[in-house]
């Protein structure tokens, strides 16, 4: 499971060994200034949409990149057993790769509040 921390004006996501294969990276960093909106998602499996490159275990797990051929490009690492954080990003400010990030975290409410407090 990925870990999410906020440090030095950035959101840092570190992916576990098996997640790295599907997301194509060990770490992804987003400047807090690039976050347009942070939303707590009780059912994060419903957020990813579009064509994908990654893993889907129906009703259980989604890991990878969604929105390959249109729509918002999403970096995804979610599991049905945990709530998620849905970040809407300014793509240019965030590095140009993703429009959204959807990631499961055990402390979603605290994380969303911290992002909102710092990003505002």
Q: Which residue has the tokens 């300014």?
A: 90
| Angle ∠(103,48,3) on CA atoms, nearest 5 | 10
Residue range 43-62, pLDDT digits in tens: 999 999 999 999 999 999 99
Q: Are 74 and 93 in contact (CB under 8 A)?
A: no
The answer to whether the pTM exceeds 0.85 is yes
pLDDT tens for residues 57-103? 999 999 999 999 988 999 999 999 999 999 999 999 988 899 999 99
> Per-residue pLDDT for 119 more than 80?
no
11 touches 112 (CB < 8 A) = no
């Amino acid at each position: 499971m990925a870990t999410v921390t906020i440090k030095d004006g950035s959101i840092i996501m570190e992916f576990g060994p098996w997640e790295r294969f599907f997301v194509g990276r060990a770490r992804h960093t987003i400047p807090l200034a690039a976050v347009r909106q942070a939303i707590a998602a009780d059912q994060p499996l419903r957020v990813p949409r579009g064509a994908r490159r990654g893993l889907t275990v129906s009703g259980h797990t989604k890991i990878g990149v969604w929105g390959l051929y249109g729509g918002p490009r999403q970096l995804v690492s979610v599991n049905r057993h945990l709530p998620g954080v849905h970040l809407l990003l300014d793509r240019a400010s965030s590095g140009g790769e993703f429009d959204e990030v959807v990631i499961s975290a055990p402390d979603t409410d605290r994380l969303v509040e911290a992002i909102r407090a710092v990003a505002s």
